[in-house]
Structure 1
Amino acid sequence: MDLAVRAAQLRSERRPFVEAIVVRAQPPTSARTGDRALVLADGTIEGFVGGRCTESSVRDVARQVLERGESMLLRVLPGGATEFPDAPGATIAVNPCMSGGATEIFLQPQMPAILLAVSGTSPIAEAVADFARRVDYAVEPVRGTTVPADAAVVIVASHGGDEAGVIRAALDAGAGYIGLVASRVRGAAVLDEVDPTTDERARIHTPAGLDIGARTAAEIGLSIVADVVRVARSGGLARPSGAGGRAGTGGHVEVPRPVDPAPGAAVDPVCGMTVTITESTPHLTVDGTTMWFCCPGCRQRYQKDRVA
């Protein structure tokens, strides 16, 4: 599998994942320095960074990395090992089931770029799109009143345009930022037509943009993108989780998207490890209760102890 090609595909599909690379390996671990893998939001691992026990730790930490949006260094050690001393910024996972060796794995989140949907064709709309790309945002046009899911939306008012319809579609699609480029009088008239609730009104910004005294199209575009960045950095814009989405066309329209449901977690009853539950996680159902294990070895040990 070409992981670079696969990573590019996931980015094009706007699916979050974690890139994991082995930066240090101590024999007899099966991983080698430079081994890589991609960890999807549902816990699927594509590539290789170690055996079953290591994979369990990588899945658990990758889930935290996606939740926090921050990189993390993972030290995977066998029980009682002290070869890799603790250090700030590192997370240690002690795997009693490991037969020896140790690894350090760097996990880096790869989150979809913030999506900015622009409605209208004018120098201001072009400036907004240009500045958005300069800060590494993805940009899509709004076609009619169809608003992409997971998008911030900027609407440039024009004669005969359906600004109210686009705003309503954006609200229904859950847009965290909706900017209307219009005069105060025109903006007030559009809002009267939309008739938003109090919570919805808090997401609508008109006149759009920070007050920097902007006059030219470029300056206005800069002020609008700066305001979107402000809202994004304050946590007002959620990035796609991979769990699907909607787009609005005056109501709700389902948009086909890859679904990566967030995995659950359980504790291995043998070694005490936290295990991320996926389709391939070893498990055993006893008296109607499902037990999850870090590896087949722990499952076999549990079965053997029950027989004994």
Structure 2
Amino acid sequence: MTGRRIPARIAELTARRVPFVHVTVVRSQPPSSAKTGDEAIVLPGGDIEGFVGGQCTIESVRRTALGVIRDGEGVLLRVLPGGQERFPDAPGAVTVVNPCLSGGAMELFLRPELPAPTLHVAGATPIADAVTDMAEMLGFAVTRGTDDLPPDSIAGVISTHGDEELLVRAALDAHIPFIALVASPKRGTELVTAMGLNDSERAAIHTPAGLWIGARTAPEIALSIMTEIVKAIRLDGLVGAETAGAVRAPDVQVPADATDPVCGMSVTIRADTPHLTAGGTDYWFCSAGCRDTYAKAAS
């Protein structure tokens, strides 16, 4: 994939709500093959589209990117040739000393691009409208309606003048982990008690919705609701946040790595990683060339 196609690919993945890491070369020292401004995309499975360097750099980029997409935090990756003085470590930066014989130092910025968390709002009230506006301002993808609640929503806000019990039940059945029910303390407690919920279902329902800030107007109530939802995601480890793409990508596992016995490079063990079994021991290599060199020496 050429650099010209990267923006179109980013737009496609974003529209499909596919998490990925956008990699950009921010500094390159000859004889590195990549140039400043070169770009690539790393998908959750470790596939790389685009060009940010040769095989020596790619393995470091792949492994670091999988950690970035899992953790949801951007990283400045510094790739240095073996023997070169290390850059001083700093928060948000990862330094890798690369033993590849081609040499050349590089800096690459890896930025996670994760789907916006989805918030479903049920109801046609001023509070529902205010929650929608504020959630969109905060970067949530908002859906509205009282039918077909999206099962991948991180939270649901119910603000109606009726059918609350049916909507709460629908949200629970959709496995929405945080359900904000707009109701008075008395009304909310009576409704939840009457439903005969189990402990896990009861824990998902937050009523009265929102943190207590003395809110009176619809925008103020929306502020209290969104504050509670953001707190649940950022500070309380909201169950289901990962699956909704709110903080990090789902099921991203950084694979094991191995050291190439020929060049000493650290390589990610994937199905397509060059591999050789010799003397009952498995070896993985950065390239077919290193594998063939080892096989020849071992024969």
Q: TM-score range by the shorter chain?
A: 0.7 to 0.9
Alpha-carbon distance in structure 2 between the residues aligned to 1:274 and 1:167 = 51
**Cα RMSD (Å) of the superposition?**
2.6
Q: Given that residues 268 and 275 in structure 1 are in contact (C-alpha distance below 8 angstroms), is that contact kept between their aligned partners in structure 2? A: yes
Matched-pair contact (CA < 8 Å) for 1:265–1:274 = no
Matched position secondary structure for 1:202: helix
Structure 1 window deviating more from structure 2 (176-185 vs 280-289): it is: 280-289
Alignment partners' CA distance in 2, 1:236 and 1:230 = 9
Cα 1:136–1:261 shift into 2, 3 Å: closer
Task: Say whether residues 1:3 and 2:11 are aligned partners.
Answer: no
1:202 corresponds to: 203
- In structure 2, runs of 5+ residues without a counterpart are none
User: How high is the TM-score relative to the length of structure 2?
Assistant: 0.86
Q: Which residue of structure 2 lines up, in the alignment, with residue 106 of structure 1?
A: 109
> Which one of 287, 290, 295 corresponds to residue 295 of structure 1?
287
> In the aligned structure 1, how far is the partner of 2:153 from the partner of 2:285?
36
Say whether the 8 Å CA contact 2:181–2:208 is kept in structure 1.
yes
- Matches of 1:142 and 1:299 in 2, distance apart? 58
Residue 49 of structure 1 aligns with an amino acid whose one-letter code is V
Tell me which of 147, 151, 157 is aligned to 1:148: 151
Shift of 1:190: 2.6
Distance, in Å, in 2 between the alignment partners of 1:69 and 1:179 is 26
Rounded Cα–Cα distance in structure 2 between residues aligned with 1:92 and 1:128: 43
Higher strand share: 1
| Aligned-partner SS, 1:91 | strand
Structure 1 unaligned regions, length at least 5: 243-257
Secondary structure (helix, strand or coil) at the match of 2:256 reads: strand
The residue number in structure 2 matching 1:266 is: 257
- Three-state SS of the structure 2 residue aligned to 1:21 is strand
1:171 paired residue number: 172
Question: Offset of 1:193 from its aligned partner?
Answer: 4.2
**Match of 2:100?**
97
Deviation at 1:263, TM superposition (A): 5.2
Aligned length, in residue pairs: 289
1:147-296 pair list within 5 angstroms: 147-159=150-162, 161=163, 163-234=164-235, 235-236=237-238, 238-240=241-243, 262=253, 264-270=255-261, 271-284=263-276, 291-296=283-288
Distance 2:282 2:180 in 1: 50
Amino acid at match of 1:122: T
Identity of paired residues, percent? 49
Q: Which deviations, in whole Å up to 9, do the C-alpha atoms of 1:266-289 show, x marking residues without a partner?
A: 213414544334454323355887
> Is 1:138 the equivalent of 2:156?
no
